[in-house]
């Protein structure tokens, strides 16, 4: 008797030898992971890397889970291709008109008046560690243990990358040195960099601990300077004051700036001219995977349809909404056009829908240690919620099993909560229930997230009565 909830592989499909080579090829590509486009990977023989990853991880729980995911994606793509063939036999004149209408409407939203910058620290955690350990400068090393958080550029030349299992990285680079992460140290260094960024745009937007968006339009206008000179100056100042190098992209919007910041890494910058002709030419030959928001799954779906670059999205425009839905269709068209947001603001100004934290660790099954980890996670989430000035009405527990399967469970709270005590108190029964459902529960990741947020900021009394201090 089989478990109806477990993924099933069609025996007929598994037995067909003509398909086995293609399935092996897609699996090996899948195993390369989400950080394939990271800087430092350009000259790496990815076929060789995928072969090493395949052989090193074959038979492991990680490998088995990735194989299941890859087979599920293959089946999904087969359905997409069947639908595409059916659509090719139909009159899609109306769909083509609709696609062109959307392109026209989106084109009207193009804003070429802003100078947007994406700043990205180069191998940040590794760079901070190297400041304390200069002897690491000329050797391959990575920050992390069971899973790599980041690698220096020497390690990347061997194919090592963030998100990779430590034992696999050691197969790629036997001399790789692993450094235990120290997030307190990284946070302190990040704050030094942010203080400099604020001089150029007081309302810069932190995208993560080591990257940020800035709008330097006003700065350039007030000082009558050009963006490239401003960013050269800013990068030089960051290096002089913090000993950390950063790379930057300068463009008309955040999407383009993010892509451009990866063009001249490490310790470089790239500016895309803010005119429609230059932007369209830039996007035309850009591989879809280079765009933030197009990951392994969507990239492979597009590749199977014959879409490798953003320019090729246009040729398939009449099919996209029918195959992927309106939301993904509009996103892909905006990629083709090189459109993105120009509004940059502090993260706390956004209407957040959720706030959470998670961490990975070595396999853990001891009940007391799992509760200790849950308590620590609750304390970390409390800090984040204090900074965001919010409470949550729904609490979600996320876990990753030792088999790499991810599970989430959530519960509605009797009141909005934010304290570590409450977060732990209400998440503990969720964890206990999972322990009952899965005997011998072994975890390698745990996270907590609150949704349906309410603000804890004190109300602005004068604003409430329609008064403002001028």
Annotated active-site positions, please? 211
Are the CB atoms for 68 and 103 separated by under 8 Å? no
62 to 219, 405, 435: CA distances (angstroms): 49, 9, 21
| CA–CA dist 303, 320 (Å, integer) | 13
Q: Is the dihedral of CA 171, 173, 174, 179 positive or negative?
A: negative
SS3 call for 470: coil
Distance, in Å, from the CA atom of 324 to the CA atom of 313, rounded to the nearest integer, reads 13
Six-digit token pair at 394?
Answer: 């729904």
- Tokens 């100042």 belong to 237
Distance CA 304, CA 322 (A): 16
Nearest 5°: phi and psi at 410? Answer: -135, 160
Sequence-distant (6+) residues with CB within 8 A of 318 are: 92, 95, 96, 99
Using CA atoms, how far apart are residues 28 and 33, in angstroms rounded to an integer? 10
Residues with Cβ within 8 Å of residue 91, at least 6 apart in sequence: none
Q: Dig out the tokens for 276 from the structure.
A: 């429609």
d(CA 395, CA 418): 10
Determine contact, residues 356/214, Cβ cutoff 8 Å.
no
Q: Which residues contact 41 (CB under 8 A, 6 or more apart)?
A: 35, 156, 159, 161
Cα separation, 232 vs 247, whole angstroms: 10
């Amino acid at each position: 008797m089989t478990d109806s909830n477990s993924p099933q592989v069609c025996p007929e499909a598994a037995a067909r030898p003509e398909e086995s080579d293609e399935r092996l090829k897609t699996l090996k590509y899948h195993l390369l992971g989400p950080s394939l486009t990271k800087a430092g990977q350009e000259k790496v023989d990815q076929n060789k890397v995928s072969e090493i990853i395949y052989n090193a991880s074959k038979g492991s729980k990680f490998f088995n889970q990735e194989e299941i995911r890859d087979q599920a994606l293959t089946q999904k793509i087969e359905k997409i291709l069947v639908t595409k063939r059916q659509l090719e036999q139909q009159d899609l004149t109306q769909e083509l008109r609709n696609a062109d209408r959307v392109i026209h409407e989106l084109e009207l939203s193009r804003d070429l008046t802003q100078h947007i910058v994406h700043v990205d620290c180069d191998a940040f955690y590794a760079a901070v560690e190297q400041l304390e350990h200069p002897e690491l400068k000329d050797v391959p090393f990575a920050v992390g243990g069971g899973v790599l958080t980041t690698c220096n550029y020497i390690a990347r030349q061997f194919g090592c990358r963030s998100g990779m299992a430590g034992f696999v990285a050691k197969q790629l680079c036997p001399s790789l040195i692993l450094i235990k992460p120290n997030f307190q140290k990284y946070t302190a260094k990040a704050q030094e960099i942010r203080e400099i960024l604020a001089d150029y745009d007081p309302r810069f937007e932190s995208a993560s601990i080591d990257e940020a968006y800035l709008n330097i339009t006003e700065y350039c206008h007030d000082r009558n300077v050009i963006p490239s000179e401003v960013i050269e100056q800013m990068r030089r100042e960051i290096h002089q004051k913090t000993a950390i190098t950063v790379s930057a992209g300068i463009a008309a919007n955040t999407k383009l700036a993010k892509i451009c910041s990866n063009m001249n890494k490490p310790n470089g910058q790239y500016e895309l001219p803010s005119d429609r002709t230059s932007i369209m030419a830039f996007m035309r030959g850009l591989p879809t995977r280079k765009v933030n928001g197009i990951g392994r799954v969507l990239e492979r779906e597009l590749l199977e349809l014959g879409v490798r670059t953003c320019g090729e999205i246009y040729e398939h425009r009449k099919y996209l909404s029918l195959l992927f839905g309106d939301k993904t269709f509009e996103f892909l068209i905006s990629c083709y056009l090189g459109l993105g947001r120009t509004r940059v603001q502090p993260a706390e100004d956004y209407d957040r829908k959720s706030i959470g934290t998670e961490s990975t660790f070595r396999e853990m099954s001891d009940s007391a240690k799992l509760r200790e980890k849950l308590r620590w996670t609750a304390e970390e989430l409390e800090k984040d919620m204090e900074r965001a000035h919010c409470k949550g009405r729904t609490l979600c527990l996320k876990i990753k099993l030792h088999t790499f399967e991810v599970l989430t469970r959530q519960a509605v709270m009797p009141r909005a909560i934010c304290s570590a005590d409450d977060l732990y108190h209400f998440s503990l029964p969720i964890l206990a229930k999972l322990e009952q459902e899965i005997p011998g529960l072994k975890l390698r990741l745990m996270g907590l997230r609150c949704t349906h947020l309410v603000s804890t900021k004190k109300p602005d009394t004068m604003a409430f009565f329609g008064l403002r201090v001028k």
